[in-house]
Structure formats: structure tokens, C-alpha cells
């Protein structure tokens, strides 16, 4: 793709990812309408959980796993090949996000914590919801501290990248945590349930696509090492002396 400039490559990838996200969002909307029996035009849509945008291991979620995996690879490339260890905290963050999505870590740990601490339902939230919020808060503080330390050590240009990534991470947290909690309060109202499901998970999809494209743009705009340095870096990364 040398005939395309870097910004065009970024936009092309963004269009492809977001266009795919929109397909999953539309299919997810029809699924929710059919599942909750909200509209007659959706009544014949198959209620097959793989069509859901919110169900674990659904087609939409698999696409999210792929994007998280791509970001781990892109950050790994920056760290190992482009000699940018400053992005190590970001790489570990997306490793956690991928593992959390695959294994439902914060749900499982949150459930155990809620039982151990004898948390009680309040304000329309379940005891498990408070456990999950506690887990997400602790993990979030840990990674914010790690990213903050990396930011202090970063060069001015890298600090600019960190600021943009933090804004996108905050947007991801708004959809994944804040709207998720609001969604629980309206879980008994069918239309609001469907709307918040699409808003929460659809928003996460769009933000993840934007972050993936941004990290890809970061990779193609980061200067390459000189030939000898690059060869040494590659040999070191695959443990060849």
C-alpha cells in the first residue's frame, strides 16, 4: 500500500472496521427487537445468541476480540521492533481487556467479592454489580498509575500520543462501565433495555475500532530503526544470539 499516504491508510482501515461494526449493530438491534418482542417487523428474526451484540462469544464479540488482539500485536511491534518500551503499559492493558472479555474476569471475581464481603443490592444495582464495579475500579487505578508513570518518562511527542489514547480509553470506559450501570437500572423496561444494549455495546465497538486504527497509524508513522539496529532487535526478540 505504498501508493497510499499514511492518513489515507488510516481512513481506509477505519471505514472498513466501522462499516463492519455497523453491520453488527444493525443485526444486534434486530436481535434485541425479536428477543424482547418489540416490533412486528422483527418477529421472524432468528433469536440466535450469536447474532447478539452483547452476548459472550457472539459474532460481534469475536470481532472485538480480534481488534484487541491486533492492538496487542501492534503495541508489541512498537515495543520490540521499533524500540518503544514506553508503550508497555498500553500493551498490558489491552492484554487484560482481551482476557477479561474472553474469561469474564471482572464478572467472576466481582461475584466472589460480593459474596465474601456480603454486599447487598442497593439503588437498583445487584450485589454482584458492586463487586464488579470494585474490581473494575481497582484494575483501572492500577493501569492508570502504570500509564501515568510511563507518561512521565515519555518524550513530548509520545506524551501527545498518550493524551489521545487516554481520551479514547475514557470513552471506552463510559460505554463499558457508566452506561452499563445505567442500563441495569432500566433492565425491566423492554425498549430501554434494547436501546441501552445497542448504545453500550455499539459504542464500545466504534471506540475499539477508532483505537485500533489510531495504534495502526502510530505504527506506520513511528520511524524505523536503522538496518543493523533493526536486525539486532529482531534477533534479540526471538532469542538468537
- The whole-model pTM stands at 0.84
Q: Which helix (H) or strand (E) holds 4?
A: none
Per-residue confidence of the chain (241 residues) as pLDDT tens digits?
Answer: 455 677 788 899 999 999 999 999 999 988 888 877 777 767 777 777 888 888 888 999 999 999 999 999 999 999 999 999 999 999 999 999 999 888 888 888 888 888 888 888 877 778 888 888 888 889 999 999 999 999 999 999 999 999 999 999 999 989 988 887 787 777 777 888 888 889 999 999 999 999 999 999 999 888 765 544 544 444 444 344 4
- What 3-state class would DSSP assign to 122? strand
The grid coordinates of residue 127 equal 450485589
What is the C-alpha to C-alpha distance for residues 80 and 176, in angstroms, rounded to an integer? Answer: 30
Q: Does residue 23 contact residue 59 with C-beta atoms inside 8 Å?
A: no
Amino acid at each position: 500500500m505504498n501508493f497510499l499516504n499514511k492518513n489515507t491508510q488510516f481512513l481506509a482501515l477505519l471505514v472498513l472496521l466501522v462499516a463492519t461494526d455497523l453491520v453488527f449493530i444493525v443485526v444486534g438491534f434486530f436481535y434485541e427487537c425479536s428477543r424482547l418482542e418489540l416490533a412486528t417487523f422483527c418477529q421472524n428474526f432468528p433469536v440466535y445468541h450469536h447474532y447478539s451484540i452483547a452476548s459472550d462469544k457472539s459474532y460481534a464479540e469475536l470481532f472485538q476480540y480480534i481488534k484487541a488482539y491486533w492492538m496487542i500485536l501492534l503495541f508489541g511491534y512498537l515495543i520490540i521492533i521499533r524500540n518503544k518500551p514506553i508503550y508497555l503499559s498500553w500493551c498490558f492493558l489491552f492484554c487484560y481487556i482481551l482476557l477479561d472479555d474472553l474469561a469474564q474476569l471482572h464478572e467472576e471475581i466481582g461475584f466472589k467479592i460480593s459474596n465474601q464481603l456480603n454486599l447487598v443490592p442497593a439503588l437498583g444495582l445487584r450485589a454482584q454489580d458492586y463487586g464488579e464495579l470494585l474490581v473494575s475500579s481497582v484494575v483501572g487505578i492500577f493501569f492508570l498509575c502504570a500509564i501515568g508513570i510511563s507518561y512521565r518518562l515519555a518524550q513530548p511527542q509520545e506524551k501527545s500520543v498518550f493524551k489521545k489514547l487516554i481520551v479514547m480509553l475514557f470513552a471506552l470506559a463510559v460505554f463499558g462501565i457508566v452506561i452499563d450501570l445505567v442500563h441495569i437500572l432500566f433492565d425491566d423496561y423492554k425498549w430501554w433495555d434494547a436501546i441501552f444494549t445497542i448504545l453500550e455495546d455499539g459504542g464500545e465497538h466504534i471506540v475499539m475500532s477508532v483505537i485500533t486504527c489510531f495504534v495502526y497509524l502510530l505504527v506506520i508513522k513511528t520511524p524505523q530503526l536503522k538496518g543493523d539496529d533493526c536486525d539486532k532487535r529482531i534477533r534479540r526478540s526471538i532469542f538468537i544470539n
